[in-house]
Amino acid sequence: RTSLLSSTFICCRISNREMEPQEGRKGIPSLLSSQGECIATNITQLIGWTPLIELRNIAEKDGIGARLIGKIEPYQPLSSVKDRSALRLIEDAEEKGLITPGITTLLGVTSGNLGIGVAFIAAQKGYKFIALMPAKLSLDKQILMRYLGVEVVLVDAVQHGFKALLDRVEQMKKDVEDVYVLDQFTNPANPDAHFRWTDGEPAFHNILGIGPGFVPEILDRSQIDEIVTVTTQEAMDMARRLAREEGLLVGISSGANAAACLKVASREENRGKMIVTMFSSGAERYLNSELFAQVKEECVNINMTF
């Protein structure tokens, strides 16, 4: 198995053999298989299982001999793979007796999706949540978090780097009473929910959610066989192709994942193999990003004629 890595996905080359099933959070299927009412007791019970889908149109159009498969994480309750991480980070702290609903204030650094995941789980469990975000990034996600009752604190990370966010965390740990930091970059509970990867030289890009410019402590480099790089333009182009050729509304990092898979799938040694990646979040969360810039402008201009 070869893993192709960015900070939000796992892309695997799998040989033509059946894989042994593994136990995990079953999510919606657990309700369907129950003998009683098929009603969730709360929203966290819906976190877990998501379907796989084959990208046959793109594979056929590009003459790819391998099978391209995507795991549709937008099927999570709040439409992102980070719902998994958010739940595990909170449950892990609860199991260790580190946080208490109604008393503890949760604090975390996020570019958006993890923050949204924490927000709805915190709301359900009764925690206050303060999210630190890079300023001028992902207005859609800022709106959603504020709508869920989150206190969103913006930090100028573009000018001062990711360290500015970490410095603000340290300051708020001193200023906020009964605060607990949900640190996705050092807490082993994050990869305990799923594998999350980063590597490569730090550089600015517009693939939201990927690569803050450092290697997190929880990264086990021994599991990495190869890193496939993808440009912002390649990620955007592929996300748009997934919408127009496969009918899949997924975000920018999902486009990056699929673009990396396509590069690997085109290799002759992978003919007949199955390449699996993760579609991390839904496209609706990026309406104010570069991904939708052209169609947004078109829609605005059309409406101005009336």
Q: What is the pLDDT of residues 115-146, one digit of tens each?
A: 999 999 999 999 999 999 988 878 899 999 99
Rounded CA-CA distance 135/145 in Å is: 14
> Which contacts (CB < 8 Å, 24+ apart) does range 188-191 have?
188/218, 189/88, 189/89, 189/91, 189/92, 189/93, 190/85, 190/88, 190/89, 190/218, 191/218, 191/220
All structural domains of the chain with their residue ranges = 82-181
In order of 53, 121, 173, 182, the CA distances from 108 in angstroms are 32, 14, 11, 5
Across the chain, mean pLDDT equals 84
Residues above pLDDT 70, as percent of the chain:
82
pTM: 0.81
Which of 57-66, 190-199, 287-296 bottoms out in mean pLDDT, i.e. has the lowest?
Answer: 190-199
Q: Which fold has domain 82-181?
A: Rossmann fold (3.40.50)
pLDDT above 90 (res 187): no
The reported pLDDT for the residue numbered 204 is: 56
The reported pLDDT for the residue numbered 153 is: 95
Q: Look up residue 263 and give its two tokens.
A: 């590069």
Which H/E stretch holds residue 12?
Answer: strand 9-14
pLDDT above 70 (res 286): yes
pLDDT above 50 (res 1): no
Q: List Cβ neighbours of 71 (8 Å cut-off, separation of 6 or more).
A: 50, 51, 52, 276, 277, 278, 279
pLDDT above 80 (res 43): yes
pLDDT in tens, 207-219: 766 655 566 777 7
| Overall average pLDDT of the 237-250 stretch | 97
Confidence of residue 46 (pLDDT cuts 50, 70, 90): very high
**In sequence order, which ranges of the chain are alpha helices (DSSP H)?**
28-32, 56-61, 82-95, 113-125, 139-147, 157-160, 162-175, 189-193, 232-246, 252-265, 293-303
Confidence of residue 191 (pLDDT cuts 50, 70, 90): very low
Task: Give the total residue count for the chain.
Answer: 306
pLDDT in tens, 141-179: 999 999 999 999 999 877 777 788 889 999 999 999 999
